[in-house]
A and B are shown apart, each in its own frame.
Chain A
Amino acid sequence: MMSRLDALKVLFKYTENIPVISSCGNTSREWASLGRRDNHLYMVDTMGLTPSVAIGVSLALENKEFKKCIAIEGDGGVLMNPNAFASAGYLRPKKWLLIVFDNECFASTGGQCSLASRLDIGKVAQGYNLEVIQVETADAFEHAVQTSIEKDGPIVIHAKINQENQKNPFINDDPAVLAYKFSCFLSQ
């Protein structure tokens, strides 16, 4: 099974010009370790909100050139705010692509077991009338990212990953600066 960092390295290759919003904790820290970009919005708190913010950005960008707005969220975060599934299913934002990294645990807080160990998040998303692509390997993930970017959403990539965690520096930036850079990128 791939690690989250393996998957993030793949995603990094295809998203130089695509807004990407990453969830708090180790996901944003690993994502930032690959290289800071203004098209990245790193969430430093508010676990589970990433898919909702990406819905808003996707709607705002409907008439712009960006192919997608990508949200990265973990299994714990998605189950904390499944309302975003409801909104995406209802609003059908074409540019919304959610990547759920599912390691069936809360890796950032020590690996405690999450509810995803007994639930299939992909099936949950399908229940909200969302297209779901389920992957377990880096090759399948790469193919899913490539194809999803080119077609209309809303789409969920449900990626099973192992429980490996990289130790990277905390993202302790002023959130106002993070948002300003991201907003300037979106306004181009």
Chain B
Amino acid sequence: MTTFRDLACEEIIKGIEEVEPDYFLSIPCSTVGPVIEHFEKSDKVTSFPVSREEDGVGIAAGLSLGGKLPIMLIQDTGIGNSILAITTFAQAYHVPMLILVTRRGGFGEINSAVNLFSEPLPRILDDAGVKTFKLDYRLPLKEWSVAIKQAAQYAKDTHRPIIVMFNIKGGAEQ
């Protein structure tokens, strides 16, 4: 049976491909494993892993300054590892990039600590002034690829990092 997660991953792949990024950076996440595997095999996008999100933001920023379009896919915990680089470099220096973020915490989360960061994260990003779009089961899946494509364009047009955060666990509000 096809799950919400499978369908969501297909839509995320479609959205990224429609953006036609030059580079795809990632740190593994089990919920979007199929997305990462897809781009590891892709011959249209240069894909590579990074070891920490802060380093990834720096590399993505360098690519962007050099005229390339990067997309980075990370877990929301990685924002904690990179928020200084996002704000005082990518945002301050007007460097466009799209950061796709999978949500932790909420229903279905078995980790006993991560909720302490993941739950307040949307408020942290709002307070930091980092523009974030949130996708979950309330937005029809066929709209997710459109949102990813528009977010990438918005990052370019407004000269800053844009985050698209998605909860692909489905179900009630997280």
A176 touches B66 (CB 8 A): no
Complex CA–CA separation, A41 to B89 (angstroms): 12
Q: Are B94 and A53 in touch, CB under 8 angstroms?
A: no
- Quick one: which of B23, B54, B89 contacts A59, CB cutoff 8 A? B23
Q: Let me know if B55 and A83 touch, CB within 8 A.
A: yes
Q: Give the residues in chain A near B7, CB-CB below 8 Å.
A: none
Contact of B55 with A81 in the complex, beta carbons under 8 Å: yes
Q: Which of A66-103 contact B (CB under 8 A)?
A: 69, 81, 83-84, 86-87, 90-91
Q: Does the CB pair A56–B63 fall under 8 Å?
A: yes
B89 lies within 8 A of A49 (CB): yes
Give, as a whole number of angstroms, the nearest-CB distance from B143 to chain A: 31
Residues of chain A with a CB closer than 8 A to B58's CB: 46, 49-53, 55-56, 81, 84
Q: Which listed segment binds B: A2-10, A135-143, A177-185?
A: A177-185
Q: Quick one: given A60-B67, A81-B55, are A91 and B48 in contact (CB under 8 Å)?
A: yes
Q: Which residues of A contact B92 (CB under 8 A)?
A: 44-45, 175-176
A90 touches B48 (CB 8 A): yes
Question: A residues within 8 A CB of B64?
Answer: 56
Closest to B49 in A: A90
Task: Tell me which residues across on chain B come within 8 A of A57, comparing CB atoms.
Answer: 62-63, 65-66
Known: A176-B159, A183-B65. A56 touches B59 (CB 8 A): yes
**Candidates A45, A46, A52, A175; contact of B62 at CB < 8 Å:** A52
Decide if A172 is an interface residue (CB 8 Å cutoff). no
Q: How far is the CA of A180 from the CA of B95 in the complex (A)?
A: 9
Given contacts A52-B58, A178-B93, contact A59 B51 (CB under 8 A): no
Total interface residues in chain A, CB < 8 Å: 35
Complex-state Cα separation, A182 to B57, whole angstroms: 18
- CB nearest to B91 among chain A residues: A175
Most buried by B among A51, A176, A182: A176
Contacts of B56 in A (CB 8 A): 52
B73 within 8 A of A: no
Q: How far is the CB of A94 from chain B (nearest CB, A)?
A: 14
Q: Which one of B50, B61, B84 contacts A83 once the chains associate, using CB atoms below 8 Å?
A: B50
Closest chain-A Cβ to B155's Cβ sits at a distance in Å of 14
Across-interface contacts of B88 in A (CB, < 8 A): 44-46
Bound-complex Cα distance A60 to B94 (A): 18
Considering the complex, which residues of chain B in the window 89-106 have a beta carbon less than 8 Å from any beta carbon of chain A? 89, 92-95
28 A/B residue pairs, CB under 8 Å, sorted by A: A45-B88, A46-B84, A49-B54, A49-B57, A52-B56, A52-B58, A53-B65, A56-B59, A56-B64, A56-B66, A57-B63, A59-B23, A59-B62, A60-B63, A60-B65, A61-B66, A83-B51, A83-B52, A83-B55, A84-B55, A86-B51, A86-B55, A87-B51, A175-B94, A176-B93, A179-B94, A183-B66, A187-B67
Shortest 4 CB-CB contacts between residues of A and residues of B: A56-B62, A60-B66, A52-B58, A83-B55
